Structure formats: structure tokens, C-alpha cells
Amino acid sequence: MNEAFVQLVCPDCRKDWEAKPMDLPAPDAAFACPDCEAERPVAEFMRTDRDLEVLKEFEAV
């Protein structure tokens, strides 16, 4: 499996960044924005559906 990155964007402050799926919790777990500290499920930080799919696939392995 290739080492993938997922694109994240904060729904509150619009910060965008990328992260390795292995560094993120499960899609429905709480996650805090590193900038504004808004806490939301990880799934809400995924920029696109594709990013969410990558994260889900990673969690399923």
C-alpha cells in the first residue's frame, strides 16, 4: 500500500493542511484543529469525499 496523505480543512477557520492517515484517529473520533482548536469528528475535516475514503480504507486495514 502506498503511503497516502489526506487533505484536511478546518470548517471553522479554513486552515488547510495534510496529514498521514496513520496519524489521525478513526473518522468518527473527535479531533481538534491545530490552529483554532475547534473540536469536531475527523470526518468533518476531510476536504473531499476521496480523503474520507482514504481515511476509512486505512482504518479498515
Binding site for Zn ion (CB under 5 A): 10, 12-13, 15, 33, 35-36, 38
Cβ distance to Zn ion smaller for residue 6 or 33:
33
Helix locations, the chain, DSSP H: 49-60
CB 20 within 8 A of CB 34: no
Residue 61 CB, nearest approach to Zn ion (Å): 28
Three-state secondary structure call for residue 38: coil
Cβ distance to Zn ion smaller for residue 22 or 32:
32
Residue 22 CB, nearest approach to Zn ion (Å): 22
Please give the grid coordinates belonging to residue 44: 468533518
